Every structure is written in structure tokens, then in C-alpha cells.
Chain A
């Protein structure tokens, strides 16, 4: 089955770190660019980061978050450091580029609170 499954979310204190994972299956993972998109409670979608032949980040996370991938493990990662309350959100991984992200995971919830 073609799918993306996120994991690694949880409760973390402000200033803490968390590493999200996204496991891909059913397709040739290495052939696709990948993204992280988040959604704060009751808010809209916010693009966070992408990786293809290069990496890119939203200004809100630049310098704090790092996107990476392991094609041998069909996995996408998001290392999140110096977490803030404003980073509280459901984090989705999504396949493709901004002209059409055609496969999304179910999301993993990150809560930053003391």
C-alpha cells in the first residue's frame, strides 16, 4: 500500500528537542521530493520544510529545524531544536512539490509546553 506514516510526536518543554520520522512505503521513495507541513490547533496549514536535491525552510523554523532523509530506509526526518510554544501543531509529511503534494501522512502531534 502506498502510504506515509509519521511518528515521534509528543509533549516537550520549551527549549527542548524532538525528532519526527516519516516512513514511506509502496513507492520509490528516493524519486520524490518530500515536505513537512504543520497545522497549529484551530489554524491553517503552514509549510515547514522540503528536501529534494536541496533543502529549504520556512523563516519561522530556519536555524532550529533540520530536514533529512535516508533513502535506504525509505524515511524522512525532521529534527526540531529550541522548540517554542508556537511550534505546537500536527506535523504532516507530504510527497511531492508545492505544485501538487499528492500523498500525505496522518500526522503526528507535537505539543510544546511546560
Chain B
């Protein structure tokens, strides 16, 4: 059972938009920055969004992040088959004094 809760899977057609939710509590998402990671099959994770809504250099603006209270959302527009991957949210948890990840969401582009 992960501290941060994500849907196990989402799907959408190419060109469409999808959102992935991440739910936590005041000790993690509610009190700290959140980050999002993309993990393509067989590869290391890659940072997609940092500090809730900022994109690192090289990440297209099709990817966006938002946070409200103890929940956060990753949005992906103009879906491409290359976006098929597992997506994870992560944050520091003040109560645990530890980092926490969501369980991951598998994105399928139909």
C-alpha cells in the first residue's frame, strides 16, 4: 500500500488528453513539493515535473503538473504512442521523515 495513491492504469487514444491523479495527505503533498517521473519499459525513471508544476529542460509542454491541497495531477495532451509508460508521483513525507512514491500508473495509448 503506497502512501501516495495513483490509479493503476489510464488509457486514451492518440492525440487525446489524459490526466493522472496522485492523492496524499498534509504530511506529504499538502506540505511539500511534488514531482512526477516517467518510466519507459526497461529504462530508468526520468523527471517530468518538479516542484509541482515545473518542467525540466527538454520536457515538452504537452506535460503539465498541478497541485491543490493534498492532491496533484499530471496532464498529458496530444498523446503519442511513445508516451506509453509508467508514471509515478513522489514527495517528501514530514511524518515519516522519508520519501514516498505513488504506486505508479500505466498509461496505454490505444
Contacts and interface: CB of A to CB of B under 8 A. Distances in A.
B18 interface: no
Contact of B47 (A56, A57, A92, A101): A101
B100 A100 contact: no
B91 A98 contact: yes
A50 B50 contact: no
A97 B98 contact: no
Interface in B86-110: 86, 88, 90-92, 96-104
Main secondary structure of the interface of A (DSSP, over half): strand
B21 interface: no
A102 interface: yes
Interface residues of A, number: 23
Interface residues of B, number: 30
A11 interface: no
Contact of A44 (B33, B44, B91, B101): B101
Interface string B49-62: 11100101000000
A46 B96 CA distance: 14
Contact of A46 (B46, B51, B56, B101): B101
Given A98-B91, A104-B47, 13 more contacts: A45-B90, A47-B98, A47-B100, A47-B101, A98-B32, A98-B90, A99-B32, A99-B91, A100-B56, A101-B37, A101-B45, A102-B56, A107-B44
